[in-house]
Amino acid sequence: MAEVVVIGGGVVGLAIAYELAGNGVSVRILEQGDFGREASWAGAGMLPPGNPEGAATSHAKLRAESHRLWPLWSRQLLETTGIDNGFRECGGIAIDFGDETGGQGDEIAAWNAEGVQVESLSSDRMAELEPALNPDVSSAYRLPQLCQVRNPRHLRALVAGCAARGVEMNTGSPVVGFERKGERIVAARTPDSLHNADAFCVAAGAWSSRLMDVIGISMAIEPIRGQIVLLKTQPLPFRHIIEIGPRYLVPRPDGRILIGSTEERAGFNKVNTAAGVTGLLQLATRVVPCLKDATVERCWSGLRPSSADGLPYLDRVPETANLFIAAGHFRSGLQMSPATATVMRELILGEESSISCEPFACTR
């Protein structure tokens, strides 16, 4: 019998299993599909900077602690599995055309207050750093410590890392219910098996609220569809990640550029639409005009798990003694997965919490 059953094999579930197993815990993962093939795989792998010493909120501390852990995890996974997840510090530039996002002064002040390195860019400085950017940009700032990772590679590394640590991996195993005795969950039920454990952790992304419904707990997590377009061009016309509010252009060293992302309430309908793809291509060519000649290689979409207030749930589930949840990260699941794994290990094992989880409580 596993000590902990993790329900969900996306980046959050895999990271929690990896962290627990690295601390001597026997872990089994139950994944309804294939590991990491939902929102985790679909994202662009942007990793914003943070400063644990200057972070003022629990959400900022989760981001900052993840920023500290990413190079350590990446190096450890490479040494253990031989898989390079593509982690690198590439820097990022946030731009504004004056008609969309605004508020860059407040954003710069917030980064400064946290103690994160930030550089306000003049037009000349922007042109020096990225001459291919549209000169109509009205304001911009640079985050030199912003990093990126290749999502599919990182997920392969996590799967291999979990296996190396003895995690029992189960795909095609949807959880359809729980066996319960009083406040304790004694087993997770799949269509053909019962999986007993001492503790259970739901990390099923956009599907987590459905599992909570099974035990009569209402959890406000809904799927938000995000569409992405992949371009290819050589040589790369820019090297920084470019952010325009919630949208972005992410350059890869191999000449590929990810353009994202839409935010659509479309239920569990994971498709690409003409309007979504067209809007992303228009964004790309407005920001970097020479991309009009780039090759459109493919497009895809993913379902991000969004909570009502934008914060994840990292907590023990109410009215249970041993059921935990780590879900609702929205756009931040990948970037915050290392610190989320640490927090959940502390919660599940009854250790002192390194980050206050009160803002992430189920009852907030």
Question: What is the DSSP secondary structure assignment for residue 180, as one 8-state letter?
Answer: E
Q: What DSSP designation does 209 have?
A: H
Name every residue whose Cβ is closer than 8 Å to that of residue 96 and which is 6 or more positions away in sequence.
102, 104, 137, 138, 139, 140, 244
CA dist., res. 322 & res. 2, Å (int) = 14
CB within 8 Å of 230: residues ≥ 6 apart: 256, 257, 258, 259, 296, 297, 298, 299, 300
Query: Considering just the CA atoms, what is the radius of gyration of the chain in Å?
Result: 21
Q: How far is CA 143 from CA 18, 93, 241, 248, in A?
A: 30, 6, 10, 14
Where do we find the tokens 């994944």?
Answer: 31
Please say whether the beta carbons of 216 and 190 come within 8 A.
Answer: no
Residue 102: which pLDDT band, with cuts at 50, 70 and 90? low
Question: Residue 34 in contact with residue 98, Cβ under 8 Å?
Answer: no
Q: 262 versus 102: which is more confidently predicted?
A: 262
pLDDT at 2: 82
pLDDT digits (tens, 9 = 90+) for 108-122: 999 999 999 999 999
pLDDT at residue number 307: 96
Does the pLDDT value for residue 301 go beyond 60?
yes
Give the per-residue pLDDT at 98.
83
Banded pLDDT at 103 (limits 50, 70, 90): confident
How many angstroms separate the CA atoms of 200 and 7, rounded?
Answer: 7
pLDDT band at 100 (very low <50, low <70, confident <90, very high): low
**Averaged confidence pLDDT in the chain:** 96
d(CA 335, CA 39): 12
Nearest to 76, CA basis, from 15, 6, 144: 15
pLDDT value, residue 302: 96
Domains, the chain, with CATH or none? 2-85+151-220+308-360 (3.50.50.60), 92-144+222-307 (3.30.9.10)
Contacts of 173 (CB under 8 A, 6+ apart): 30, 31, 32, 190, 193
Helix 11-21 to helix 337-349 angle (10° resolution) is: 50
**Band (87; pLDDT cuts 50, 70, 90):** very high
In this structure, the number of other CB atoms found within 10 A of the CB of residue 152 comes to 16
What is residue 293's DSSP assignment?
Answer: G
Evaluate if residue 56 carries a pLDDT over 70: yes
The position carrying tokens 């900052």 is 64
Residue 24: exposure state from Cβ atoms within 10 A (0-12, 13-18, ≥19) = exposed
From the centroid of its chain, how far is CA 225?
14
Q: What is the pLDDT of residue 47?
A: 98
Residues 96 and 291: their CA atoms lie apart, in Å, by: 19
Backbone angles phi, psi at 121, to 5 degrees: -105, 130
pLDDT > 90: percent of the chain: 95
φ, ψ at 309 (rounded to 5°) = -105, 5
The pLDDT of residue 139 is 95
Q: What is the mean pLDDT of residues 207-211?
A: 95
**Per-residue model confidence as pLDDT tens digits over 308-347:** 999 999 999 999 999 999 999 999 999 999 999 999 999 9
pLDDT at residue 90 greater than cutoff 60: yes
Burial of residue 286 (CB within 10 Å: 0-12, 13-18, 19+) is middle
For CA atoms 166, 172, 174, 178, give the dihedral sign: negative
Report whether pLDDT(151) > 60.
yes
